[in-house]
Amino acid sequence: MFTACLELLHHNPELREKFKNSKLRTGIAAGSSVREELMQRIERELGLNELTICYGMTETSPVSVMTHHSEPDMEMRTSSVGTALDNVE
């Protein structure tokens, strides 16, 4: 979905100009990690500086592990789907 948004902005200069003033700052990617190059583009072009990556199952209601946008190491944020939440083993 984020790749599609980036492509849409890339091919539509008018929309890209409107998007520059967006208040968008946070979002969730679910089900898989986000490679570092894509995370950098998402931050730079979409302004999503607080993107969290989550993974879970219906049985865990629904998130079991997640990254933290405050993690300063980009590689740690992009090389996994995060760490287990409280009360999850």
pLDDT tens per residue, range 4-26: 999 999 999 898 888 877 888 89
Cα separation, 47 vs 5, in Å, equals: 12
pLDDT tens per residue, range 21-46: 788 889 899 878 899 999 999 988 88
Domain boundary assignment for the chain: 2-84
